[in-house]
Structure 1
Amino acid sequence: MLHKKVFRQGSQPLYRVSELISKGLVDLDDLARLIPGILHINSRKDLAIDYISKEGCDLIRYSKEELKELGAEVLRKHQSDYALNVTYPRILSEFDKGDSQMVIPFFQDWRHRPDDRPFYLFTSTKILNADQLISITLFPKDMERLCRKVNTVFGVNRTLDRYFPKYQELTPREREILGLLGQELSRKEISQNLFIDSKTVKKHCENIFRKLGTHKRTEIERIALAFATL
């Protein structure tokens, strides 16, 4: 059960963008030029791309007309089995609960050709209406750096998927402390940093370990990195 909504880089603009679109106050192409990253709208049924900004078309090398004709097939052609069979079903399952204010952040992969090395994008998505999702996708210019980070450092995309439901159970203070644990701070240092009693920090840490299901410091650091603001 989700107790807290997700707030990450790119999530707050989604609320404003969604509201403007739902009220018919903006043209999508004009709006896409003003926001950071790639704006796209996907079907809640099968994630077919109903709209994507020019930057997005250039990145994935498809025209809007081609995307409309291909529908969800374009995802099956260019994305991993893990994204198609694990990441996306979990996301759609969360949105099926009907929380129109919830924003879900996740990594997704893309390869232009089957033998290409995949590159990764960071997406924040929320419900736009009964039939569609609206998303902002960030594509760092230093693609090689991000690919190395995701592929060889800590498997961030897998960690996000694995711990996403458990991470939602953390309170805002627990998430803050998790981030500090990820910076290898001791409990005493966290206590001094947050101006709270060390016994309180100890209790928060116990709750974090229990909710995440691990007491391994290396795993905690991996989780903290996965959910850190990019």
Structure 2
Amino acid sequence: MVQLSRTPSSTPGPRPAAGDPVSTLAQRIGESGAGPLVTWYRGPDRVELSTRTVGTWVAKTVHLMSEEGVGRGDLVHLQVLSSHPLHWVSCCWLLATWWSGATPSVLPTDSSRAALAVAGPDATGCDPRVPLVQCSLEPLAGPCQDPVPGAIDYCEALAMPDEMPGATPAPLAQTWLADVDPMNGRSLAGVPPVAGPLLVATGDPGATPAHLAVLLAGCLRGGGSLVLVESTGSGTTIEQIARQERASRDGLTR
């Protein structure tokens, strides 16, 4: 499903798309699903996910949410996105909430009123009364080593169907990301398209949930891809990774 490699893949250039991230993801899966959408680095690990593979993870995640009775109109507290915005799992959860019509939030104040919480290995701050999905954030989404009692392990998504369920996105005027500055679907549908690989590293201005949402939407519109660098390996620099991935370091601002 994912590829661990030190060798970058070529990036195709489909025509720019119009619309929100749900419609552009569906269009891109149909037109150029084999091309990379997200490439993730942490130390020596490199995981490359094609658009089609991202779509598979989104489908499995939506099915997992559905089994918990979570879908359109529900609030999902994505602690994993606030604590690990540059992880490929966070991207898949963000896209899955958009696809299902749920409202993702990174606001700590939403932790107690969410229908579902999603955290990484450290679930500190999650309300114990709210159903929790815990993600190991291992390169291949393996099981959690120290799961919270009663939590759903995200690796259970691997058993979910690969078929993409019908999209039920929220209206564009509604909130698509609850943050300090809420973002609606209309603003995401109007972000500038990104045509090539774009590298974002820990510490960059773009390494925040809101900027990640903008960059991901831009890549879906323009046929580009995200190169997310949580950390570099020993003796490797950000500049070397950028050259290897043929990636720009020019971020987008809201």
**TM-score with structure 1 length normalisation?**
0.28
Higher relative contact order (Cα pairs below 8 Å, separated by 6+ residues): 2
Higher helix content, 1 or 2: 1
Larger Rg: 1
| Greater per-residue strand proportion | 2
